[in-house]
Structure 1
Amino acid sequence: MLEQNQRLSRSLLWRCQRAFYEQQGIEAWRQAHIPNFITSNPVISRAYAQVVLGWMRDWCAASRGETGRLAAPEPGQPFYLLELGAGTGRFAFHFLEAFRRLHARSQLRDVAFRYVMTDLSERNLEFWLSHPRLQPFLEEGLLDVARFDAERDEELVLRRAGTVLAPGTVANPIAVVANYFFDSLPQDAFTLRDGVLHECLVSVSSPRPGSEVEAKDFLERATVSFEDHEVRGACYGDAELDGILEDYRERLDDVTLLFPSGALRCLRRLQRLAGDRLLLLSGDKGHASEDELSDRSSGVSLVRHGGAFSLMVNYDAIGRYFRLRDGHVLRPIHRHASLHVGAFLLGQPPDGHGETELAYEEFIERSGPDDYSTLLKRMEQPFEGRTLEELLAVLRWSGWDSGVLMAAFSEWMDQAESASEPLRQEVCWAIQQVWETDYPLGGEEEDLAFHLGMLLYVMDRPAEALTFFDHSLRVGGLDPATYFNQGMCHLRLRQDALALECFEQALALDSGFTEAREIISQVQSPDWKGVDADEAPGEEPP
């Protein structure tokens, strides 16, 4: 037994969690331990960009610069957009791609902004600073990074600019993005029965004595259990937190609820940083209302992700915290199926939050990330039998997400090979959009460049296919199948000598590569007359 009947927010589980993220860095996502697709795709990023732009319009509505266009409350100073727990950086990339276009075409184009990616792990910061997709934003000064410990830090130091963001130094309101973040901050758990509040205290044991709690596989081996203990007196000695908890005791019964004590303390520090002018956009699995909390009576559910874990987020408590400060809460009127996205507002722009509310209603509530995630799961199973027009429509709807294309890749191959020339041109354009939208982590199991090359090959675009096969070899490493495919492209381009070099490279890497050996023999034969798109031996790349 490593600990017994401990308050959940003080448990060694959180120390274990911090160690996992700090040690693993980006590997936590590369190895698929941590789910992130639902909060890191182009659709949710575009939706957030629209809401943030509306929020900036609200704050700039009363000010105009010399050009007559909108100006910031403090002209010459940027709006800071902070992302907490930015992880891979994929959300930031998609957000900045969308937001830069919207911003440049709006009345806000003279208003400066700077997006700041934050995380606990130094390894993640190093990954972002070297990622090729983020370099243009870093060089333009639209992006910076900072280490931020959400459990302790009061200020941030921007690595590129050297600027210190601290209470009293930030001139304009701050927007904060927190996706899949609050579920990993310390929380507490309580049960209400017959008007009596019980705290769910945690016990943690390990099958091995002297177990190292900071080992990356500790959580996979540990046994975690909870036991109810009646609460006597104030729980936190904090008027706001105790007040919210007391309100639950008076209004709910036969309920087990999580209480986001770590998130609320973090938000208190961010509120001071923002000078009480704050937008929080947060997406996660959680409970957004008192009615949703009332449905819970089955205890605490801890979800493990390799060496990390997560809990549901009590967004109702976060909303109560904002309302206690005369803030405003936006949430969908319907119950979410996959992802709850809430907007929480502090401070009052001159004419209110009309633009923010309109953008939230249009891009989050009506057809937002939750609906996208729910429908996409249904559409992916199965993709068989979809026409090329349908596949293109889904890909456009996804914002050219490479994962959507890869999920139906065999269908793309079948349909594209027999497609008309106008449709092939549409697919070629789509391939370019997917490539420009992709945010690679490095070390992925699926080589996107290789697959896009295959798709171009079956549409008789050998020159374009070669470009992607070249990239696959540079980034993914030497591979006999890629060399073979390059050889087939060179044959279609009547470049037999180059083709032979590629086939010989494939054989050098894999001496048992029968197709390569056979095609070399055919090309070197006196009877060889070359190939065209309809007669190429081994037309389907392996």
Structure 2
Amino acid sequence: MGNVFDCETNALDPEHFPKDGSDADIVVDPRAQFSKSRLWQVQERFYHSVGRNAWNQAIVPHMMSSNAFVARAYARVLVAFLRDLFLLPSDGSPPRADPSEPVYIVELGSGHGKLGFLIMEMLKEFADAVPTCATENAYPFVLVLTDVAEDNVEAIEERAMMQHYARMGVVDFAVLDATKAPSEPVVLRHSGTVLEPGQQANPMVFVANYVLDSLPQEVLRFDAGSPSFGTLKLSIRREDAYDDEADEDSALGADSDSGSPTDAGEGDSPVADASEEASSAGVSRGHARTRRAFVSDKQRAAVWRRADAKVPGLSEDALPADVASLAGKLILSWGWQPTDAEELAELLAAHHPQLPGVVQSLYADDPRFSAARAVLVPVGGARMLQRCRALSGGRYMLLAMDKGHVDARTILEADEHPHVAEHGALSFMANFHCLAALHSAAAATRPAAGAGAQAAVATDQPSAAGEAVPGAARRAAAASTGEHPAPWPRPVCLRTEQSDGLVKAVLLASGLGRADLRSATREFKSTIVEGSPDDIAQLHRGVKAEVPKQKTPLHLATAVLRLAACDPDVFFKFRDVFIERAAPAVASVAAQTDVRADAEAVLARHYHIHSDKDVAFEVGRVCMATRDYGKALFAFQASEALCGRHHVTLHNQGICHYFLKNYPEALRLFEESLEVLPTYASSQVWVTRTAAAIEDETKGMTPHEVEELRAMHGAAVEEQAALHAAPQWAQRHDPGAAAEHHIGHQHLGGDGGHSEAELDGSEASGEEPLSEYGSHSAGHRFPDEEYADYSADDADIHAGMDDAYDEDLGGVESQSEGEGP
């Protein structure tokens, strides 16, 4: 489903989620068993209909699940795993994997693709440690980014940097629903390779960050030993289905005479032939009045109702395709349906054959769970395990991270009803306690041959020729000679040890021996268990919240940034500290050098999703503050490519060229800045100053000498750009991102709500005008994405957000431009 919800979850609010919907409410789905509720259809349709906009428009946060710290930790685990598989053991035995075939690393629910990109960046940094193999491209792995929503996969695939990696043969893409039939193959979109279940020569790796919390679950409780399963009724309030500020028929988008839907306006996304489906069901399509800011008005559409505003239960075909508005208004009413052990076992076995025994031993037989506590059973996660096991032939390692429970105690401490987080769609806590036990039970035995899960045999035994035998060939040889396969290795389950905190992580392995996992498990313990992602998040959130910006020392901000692996979002939190504290007047040369190196690492790891966080622009400001105009110029050029043309960005590029003594180019950029905003006073001043500099520089020169001087300056600037450019920056970033996603400074309205900051007295002192470069100030503010509750109203959403671009520099006077470009 994508990297879904990085947020704090809340217990069901009785006022917001009443136990029983009012008779006046519109029933979307009558009371049903939780795992069979239409809620899960809404979940899946939400991601299909919203697609990439779930992240581009900040409907779904992503920072906790996809950041540089997590990617670096995963990359270290992956490199260790690859080394153990492909390098020759010290005892002289052959490699444990087939060096002519890659290890497929499959990310489930890639969503926006940021985590996959960061993992690739980290693997690139660790390239010296990655073994070389006899594969076509000499790399021992292929990272496959997958998602259930094809639009998400296409959006990832379209990015220039992903295309670059795909051409290298180390990245591929696929549409994959992890909960579907295990026998289905996976078709890779770039290479055309088909991954048939059980036919991989080498073990596989699966990554599932923030996927489990949005997969189907079952809710159970055991009251004095008697089981009950949770039921759910879905409804929406009547007022959420109508626009009471306009004529009802008009607001519903229907022709008052015929009752048929009118043509959708630009930006709406109605269901194709929905009108016919609605007519047959006695339902008409309407446009709902929005209470919560999950998506823009043009993206909300199609709330279905009967003429009497009462829908006792909609057919599957009548669900609106654009479910964003429906998901934001759902009322969840919980209930309990008593059952018996036999029926419960049958219910659970439909999802996984060993799930009934696991639930029985973990919860039904545990007297602590006889107090009617709700237990979420990850039935979708169980099906995901089956898919991983079948696709890999039983030999795999799974890295998963989510908000959830890792032991019985935290489940017992939870509230009576399941915790629900609401962000355009809904998410629940992941039950790693149950999932790990289920994995241990299922992975303890070798998969049966056939049925999409072929018998898997470890490849650490040499053939007669003394060479490692691929899994498929090994199976055939064993069958023809009557040879018995090696004993099946015991399953491995590692997890974060902290019970407190929101984010938990696990490493689950099946069919892999101790030698296959020795280094990988050690890296997991050192990078994830001993210093968890939740610890890092608490650190940078705590410093940001508790230490005033004016008192935050540079060394504290840099320490937090480096502990977070130079993550761009963490950098963005402390950007003003770096700009103010890294200037030559207050920072040593060594400190400035370190800050520039950190900023360069930040820019290399920046995966642009929305322009309201223009990380490249802020990196440019930091580099300019430290007088590194070459790096600053490159960063501002990246900002323009990613976020669109803005007068301040052009102005800052002009400043960089000025101090690189490329005066003609500086003059051109100042004039271009004035074309965008003619009233921009800073560029007006610098046009005059630059023209004077050109006149002074060329005084007494012949035309030929002037031409030679210009060529020399141009070559120097090009050399600076090449020197400071991150590797493959042009290939890795998509210049069309702003236009494609309709985001960028020019779309903020007027002058974009931006302001420019200038230092006082810099000219009089004769110093280089450090702050003659502008700073963006967005009228739009963007939240720090950690545990933000996006279920609040507009006012609540925008309250307490991180200041975007309007903070003054030290001693800076901020002036707002009232005129648009």
Offset at 1:213? 4.2
Q: Distance between the aligned counterparts of 1:351 and 1:425, measured in 2?
A: 42
Q: For the structure 1 residues 4 and 408, does the alpha-carbon distance in structure 2 shift closer, same or farther, using more than 3 Å as the test? A: same
| 1:152-172 per-position Cα deviation (integer Å, ceiling 9, x unaligned) | 243211112211112231121
Structure 1 residue aligned with 2:440: 323
* Pairing partner for 1:214 from 299, 318, 321: 321
Q: 8 Å contact 1:383–1:411 — kept in the other structure?
A: no
The residue matched to 1:367 in structure 2 has which SS?
A: coil
Offset at 1:448? 2.1
Structure 1 residue aligned with 2:580: 414
What's the TM-score, normalizing by structure 1?
0.91
Q: Does 1:439 align with 2:607?
A: yes
Offset at 1:180? 0.2
Structure 2 residue aligned with 1:128: 156
Q: For the structure 1 residues 533 and 324, does the alpha-carbon distance in structure 2 shift closer, same or farther, using more than 3 Å as the test? A: farther
Structure 2 residue aligned with 1:52: 78
Offset at 1:351? 4.3
The count of aligned residue pairs is 538
Q: 8 Å contact 1:279–1:346 — kept in the other structure?
A: yes
The residue matched to 2:145 in structure 1 has which SS?
A: strand
Structure 2 residue aligned with 1:471: 638
Point out the more displaced range, 195-204 or 328-337: 328-337
Q: For the structure 1 residues 337 and 533, does the alpha-carbon distance in structure 2 shift closer, same or farther, using more than 3 Å as the test? A: farther
Structure 2 residue aligned with 1:119: 147
| 1:12-39 per-position Cα deviation (integer Å, ceiling 9, x unaligned) | 1111111121122221111222222112
Q: For the structure 1 residues 358 and 373, does the alpha-carbon distance in structure 2 shift closer, same or farther, using more than 3 Å as the test? A: same
Q: Distance between the aligned counterparts of 1:40 and 1:361, measured in 2?
A: 19
Point out the more displaced range, 313-322 or 203-212: 203-212
Q: Does 1:242 align with 2:359?
A: no
Point out the more displaced range, 430-439 or 377-386: 377-386
Offset at 1:244? 2.4
Matches within 5 A, 1:45-444: 45-57=71-83, 59=85, 71-102=95-126, 104-105=128-129, 112-153=140-181, 154-207=184-237, 208=241, 210-211=304-305, 212-215=319-322, 216-232=324-340, 233-235=342-344, 237=346, 238=349, 239-247=353-361, 248-251=363-366, 252-254=369-371, 255-306=373-424, 308-325=425-442, 326=444, 327-349=491-513, 351=515, 353-381=517-545, 382=547, 384=549, 385-417=551-583, 418=585, 419-441=587-609, 443-444=610-611
Offset at 1:64? 8.7
The residue matched to 1:439 in structure 2 has which SS?
A: coil
Q: Distance between the aligned counterparts of 1:245 and 1:439, measured in 2?
A: 41
Q: 8 Å contact 2:229–2:337 — kept in the other structure?
A: yes
Structure 2 residue aligned with 1:31: 57
Corresponding letter in the other structure for 1:241 = L
Offset at 1:339? 1.1
Corresponding letter in the other structure for 2:676 = L
Q: 8 Å contact 2:404–2:502 — kept in the other structure?
A: no
Q: 8 Å contact 1:47–1:369 — kept in the other structure?
A: no
Matches within 5 A, 1:465-504: 465-504=632-671
Point out the more displaced range, 161-170 or 352-361: 352-361
Q: Distance between the aligned counterparts of 1:158 and 1:49, measured in 2?
A: 22
Q: Distance between the aligned counterparts of 2:418 and 2:629, measured in 1?
A: 56
What's the TM-score, normalizing by structure 2?
0.61
Q: 8 Å contact 2:81–2:516 — kept in the other structure?
A: no
Offset at 1:229? 1.5
Offset at 1:106? 5.3
Offset at 1:458? 2.4
Q: Distance between the aligned counterparts of 1:103 and 1:500, measured in 2?
A: 42
Q: 8 Å contact 1:187–1:260 — kept in the other structure?
A: yes
Q: Distance between the aligned counterparts of 2:686 and 2:497, measured in 1?
A: 63
Q: 8 Å contact 1:64–1:71 — kept in the other structure?
A: no
Q: Distance between the aligned counterparts of 2:615 and 2:689, measured in 1?
A: 31
Offset at 1:202? 0.3
Point out the more displaced range, 239-248 or 493-502: 493-502
The residue matched to 1:76 in structure 2 has which SS?
A: coil
Q: For the structure 1 residues 364 and 524, does the alpha-carbon distance in structure 2 shift closer, same or farther, using more than 3 Å as the test? A: closer
Q: 8 Å contact 1:81–1:175 — kept in the other structure?
A: yes
Q: For the structure 1 residues 192 and 100, does the alpha-carbon distance in structure 2 shift closer, same or farther, using more than 3 Å as the test? A: same
Cα RMSD (Å): 2.9
Q: Distance between the aligned counterparts of 1:129 and 1:146, measured in 2?
A: 10
Q: Distance between the aligned counterparts of 1:369 and 1:265, measured in 2?
A: 27
Corresponding letter in the other structure for 1:340 = K
Structure 1 residue ranges without an equivalent (≥5): none
Q: Distance between the aligned counterparts of 2:770 and 2:556, measured in 1?
A: 31
Q: Distance between the aligned counterparts of 1:499 and 1:101, measured in 2?
A: 35
Q: 8 Å contact 1:515–1:538 — kept in the other structure?
A: no
Corresponding letter in the other structure for 1:406 = F
Offset at 1:353? 4.0
| 1:113-136 per-position Cα deviation (integer Å, ceiling 9, x unaligned) | 211111012122222222233234
Q: Distance between the aligned counterparts of 1:104 and 1:202, measured in 2?
A: 53
Q: 8 Å contact 1:151–1:262 — kept in the other structure?
A: yes
Q: For the structure 1 residues 236 and 478, does the alpha-carbon distance in structure 2 shift closer, same or farther, using more than 3 Å as the test? A: same
The share of aligned pairs that are identical, in percent, is: 26
The residue matched to 1:77 in structure 2 has which SS?
A: coil
Corresponding letter in the other structure for 1:210 = W
Q: For the structure 1 residues 463 and 362, does the alpha-carbon distance in structure 2 shift closer, same or farther, using more than 3 Å as the test? A: closer
| 1:398-443 per-position Cα deviation (integer Å, ceiling 9, x unaligned) | 22211111111111111122223332222222222211121122x4
Q: Distance between the aligned counterparts of 2:561 and 2:675, measured in 1?
A: 38
Q: For the structure 1 residues 225 and 472, does the alpha-carbon distance in structure 2 shift closer, same or farther, using more than 3 Å as the test? A: same
